Every structure is written in C-alpha cells, then in structure tokens.
Amino acid sequence: MTPSLNRALLTAGLVLAPLAAAWADGGRTMPLVVPPAYAQECGACHAAYAPGLLPARSWQRILGGLDRHYGTDASLDPATVRQLGVWLEAHAGTYKRVRGEPPEDRITRSAWFERKHRKVEPAVWQLPSVKSAANCAACHAGADHGRFDDDDLRQPAGLTPRQRRAWLD
C-alpha cells in the first residue's frame, strides 16, 4: 500500500470513528447502559462482548444453551437469562457485516472477523499472552468498551522482532 493511500485511509478512519461511536444500537460499540448482570455474569470468564458483535438469533441460541457454553457450564437462573435476553435482543448487531449468523454462533468465526484478522499469524494467536481469539483485550485495549479501532491496538507480549515489524505495516 502506498504511503499516501495509507494516509488517506487513516484520515477517513479518524473522521468516521466518532460516527461509529455514536452508532450504539446495532453497532459494535458497547451500549451506554449495560445491565450489571451482563458485566458480572458474561464478563467473568471472557470479555463482556458488545452485543452488536452478533445478530439476535445467535444471542438467543447462546442464552438457550448456557449449561453447555463452548465447553463449560455457564448456566444462570431463568430470571437473569430473560433480563439479558431482552437487552441483547435490543442491542444485537443489525448492521450489514453482522447480519449473518456465524458458525457455532462464534464471533471469531464471523466472516468479518476472519477477514480483519487474516494477517495475524497462527503463532501469534498461540502466544501465552494471547492464548485464544476470544481474548480480544490481548491486542484491543478498548475491547471491554467495544472499541476495536485500529488506532487503539497494543502489541501482545512475546512477539518476535519480525512480528513486531509486521505489526506496524
């Protein structure tokens, strides 16, 4: 990519970022008000993912199978499940890239996720500081707030010098 094109894209990103932030419902940023149960129950074992990262049907299926939640028992009382369901449905992803339901309802299997991370080497995912693609915060400093902008990235510990240079490209 030429430096001038790089600059142009960067400028476009800077201009569009505030718009994306304002686009809370159905977008990928964390809604302004988060039920305490969401942060507590859904943020205990992994980041409290912004509801806009999956479509409503995926969230429904996830809530319907919490006792078998990606290899662990994450079961909750029915009242909390209902409360979280209402909130997730209201804020689920509706914009173009999230409309499709990814395989196994995994954010990390979404076409947009795979495209955005296609340059990340397998060895980087396996670093002890990263461990899993579910560990957004390993690289995305603002992940807990649904901020995934390219200018809000941090390098995970353990990158080789070559990987550090590639990171900057």
Token digits for 110? 């979404």
Q: Is 70 in the site for other proteins (CB under 8 A)?
A: yes
Q: What is the DSSP-derived secondary structure letter of residue 144?
A: G
Q: How far is the CB of 61 from other proteins (least distance, A)?
A: 19
**Which amino acid type is present at position 62?**
I
Decide if 120 contacts 138 (C-beta within 8 A).
no
Cα(53)–Cα(145) distance, integer angstroms: 12
Shorter beta-carbon distance to other proteins: residue 57 or 106: 106
Shorter beta-carbon distance to other proteins: residue 33 or 168: 33
Contact segment (CB under 8 A) with other proteins among 39-47, 52-60, 98-106, 112-120 equals 39-47
Q: Is 135 in the site for other proteins (CB under 8 A)?
A: yes
Q: Is 40 in the site for other proteins (CB under 8 A)?
A: yes
Cα(50)–Cα(25) distance, integer angstroms: 10
Nearest C-alpha neighbor of 104 from the set 135, 130, 134: 134
How many of the chain's residues bind other proteins (CB under 8 A)? Answer: 25
Q: How far is the CB of 120 from other proteins (least distance, A)?
A: 15
* DSSP characters over 7-40: HHHHHHHHHHHHHHHH--TTSSSPPSS--HHIII
Q: How far is the CB of 137 from other proteins (least distance, A)?
A: 8
Q: Is 126 in the site for other proteins (CB under 8 A)?
A: no
Using CB under 8 A as the criterion, which residues of the chain lie in contact with other proteins when the complex forms? 32-33, 35-37, 40, 44-47, 70-76, 83, 130-132, 134-135, 137-138
